[in-house]
Structure 1
Amino acid sequence: MKNLKLYTLPLSPYNTKVRLALKLKGLDFESIEFAGFDDRDPVVEVSGQPLTPVLTDGDKAVYDSFAILRYLDANFPGPRLYSADRVRQQKIQEWERFGSELGGILGMVLTQAINNEIDEKATEQAQALLDTVPQVLEDALSNSRYLMGDDISAADLSLVPFLSFTVWKAEQVEHPLAKFVAERLQLSASFPKTRAWIESVMELDLEPISS
């Protein structure tokens, strides 16, 4: 029996962030997936609250993607997600906050799909906000493969899951929520470093998930 269990809504960027971190560290874990927002009794039972992701390590439960990544770095070997250097750590935290802003942009469109309510004005606003993002990333990636250098860190994991929706081709996406977003938000092809960075980080998700 595996000690690590991830209670997850696979499509959620915050859940994807944790899944990528587990795979980056090469940790063996059991994935307990939920298709939607109902039937969260198992999550409540182990963590006392209904939101995913939740990571259990034996009898210990950790929820919130930020807390989970810090728990993984403090308790397991493998590539470091954070830095002991104060300046580098502050920069990683800045990127984490930027990732939360991206979550807000994605949420402007994803909420429409969940509620089955089309709001073209909100979609246009979300795309306009998204259009301001790639140049920031393109500049940050001008001299390195990842945001903090040559290795993936929590900075990359905090942004890429949100942006991955925007590089998918709608006709190749089967999940209705993902297709809805892909049809409405697209990252410009004029930013090759950013697109290559997204694809490189998401390659972690090609590794099989333990079950």
Structure 2
Amino acid sequence: MACAFTEWRRIKMSVVVHGSPLSPFTRKVTLVAMEKGISFESKDINPYNPPDHFESISPLKRIPILTDGAFRLNDSSAIAAYLDAAFPSPNGTIIPTEPKALGYALWIEEYADTALFGDISQGVFRPTFINQMRGEPIDTQMIEEAVRNKLPVRFQYLESEISGKKYFSENRLTVADIAVYAQLANLDHAGQLPEQVSYPYLMGHYSQMKARETSKALSSQESRYLKFMLSQLKSSLSVDGSA
């Protein structure tokens, strides 16, 4: 599937992002590439039904995977760092260079990639969408547990870190902002974002990120993909006599 974001293309079509449109880690890498104006192609890989050669290109059996000619790289954080270093941009770096700003941005990225991802993916996204794609009912009990008891802890921490600021680090867009947005976008797709009044700074940051041209284009594509996948499921269930 070729990437449709021609307005962000600059040079070097050898870069390919292999992943899934609804993966927050694929989303993170894709947004880094788009924000830096890197020319790239997207190729879909379903991590729940991977191709036979998947382990040979992804030893941990995870997405995304980046290829740049003969060079291959795994892990979204490693890929983001590579893209930032390999493709200088007039907009500056996505990863700060000042030591404290660097350390802090990488910490927020790590928090988003681990703690926030775990509670959103296991507690909301999978019980909602993966269940449906497997023909199983939405697990409302698991979702309610995550929304009421698990996610508030994550939101409270991030709210305290973004409070009074427009961006997490250096008062400009960095990988920290992209990483947090990339996770919250799946919560948005599931219709489970917290109310603005509860976390005004965090939700303000999310709205700001969502309004960026890169995010708007990507979100629109993701919504179409999700709608298509669910409609395909509904059609298959109807044919099987299950709906």
TM-score when scaled to structure 1? Answer: 0.79
1:29 to 8, 16, 40: 40
Counterparts of 1:154 and 1:80 in 2: how far apart (Å)? 9
CA displacement, residues 98-143 of structure 1 (integer Å, 9 cap, x when unaligned): 1110111112222324243554443233112222333433333333
Cα gap change, 1:118/1:47 in structure 2, threshold over 3 Å: closer, same or farther?
A: closer
Quick check: 1:110 aligned with 2:118?
no
1:81 to 94, 116, 132: 94
2:115 to 92, 98, 101: 101
Match of 1:189 in 2: 196
Counterparts of 1:92 and 1:207 in 2: how far apart (Å)? 25
Counterparts of 1:201 and 1:103 in 2: how far apart (Å)? 18
Whichever residue aligns with residue 63 of structure 1, its letter is N
CA displacement, residues 168-204 of structure 1 (integer Å, 9 cap, x when unaligned): 3xxxxxxxxx4xx32xx33122133322311322322
* Deviation at residue 42 of structure 1 after TM alignment: 6.4
The answer on whether the counterparts of 1:41 and 1:50 sit within 8 Å (CA) in structure 2 is no
Counterparts of 2:61 and 2:160 in 1: how far apart (Å)? 39
Whichever residue aligns with residue 108 of structure 2, its letter is W
Counterparts of 1:149 and 1:34 in 2: how far apart (Å)? 35
Whichever residue aligns with residue 160 of structure 1, its letter is Y
Secondary structure of the structure 1 residue equivalent to 2:67: strand
CA displacement, residues 45-90 of structure 1 (integer Å, 9 cap, x when unaligned): 6556643211111110111111111111221212312222222222
Alpha-carbon RMSD: 2.6
Counterparts of 2:184 and 2:43 in 1: how far apart (Å)? 24
* Deviation at residue 93 of structure 1 after TM alignment: 2.4
Cα gap change, 1:33/1:194 in structure 2, threshold over 3 Å: closer, same or farther?
A: same
TM-score when scaled to structure 2? Answer: 0.70
Give unpaired runs (5+ residues) of structure 1: 169-177
Decide which structure has the larger Cα Rg and report it: 2
Match of 2:238 in 1: none
Give unpaired runs (5+ residues) of structure 2: 1-11, 222-243
The answer on whether the counterparts of 2:119 and 2:150 sit within 8 Å (CA) in structure 1 is yes
Whichever residue aligns with residue 150 of structure 1, its letter is N
Match of 1:154 in 2: 175
The answer on whether the counterparts of 1:43 and 1:52 sit within 8 Å (CA) in structure 2 is no
Whichever residue aligns with residue 126 of structure 2, its letter is T
1:52 to 63, 72, 90: 63
The answer on whether the counterparts of 2:18 and 2:64 sit within 8 Å (CA) in structure 1 is yes
Secondary structure of the structure 1 residue equivalent to 2:48: coil
Whichever residue aligns with residue 29 of structure 2, its letter is V
The answer on whether the counterparts of 1:7 and 1:43 sit within 8 Å (CA) in structure 2 is no
Secondary structure of the structure 1 residue equivalent to 2:49: coil
How many residue pairs end up in the alignment? 195
Counterparts of 2:146 and 2:35 in 1: how far apart (Å)? 30
- Bigger relative contact order, structure 1 or 2 (CA pairs below 8 A, ≥6 apart): 1
Question: What is the identity percentage for the equivalent residue pairs of Structure 1 and Structure 2?
Answer: 25
The answer on whether the counterparts of 1:17 and 1:158 sit within 8 Å (CA) in structure 2 is yes
Match of 2:215 in 1: 205
Match of 1:123 in 2: 143
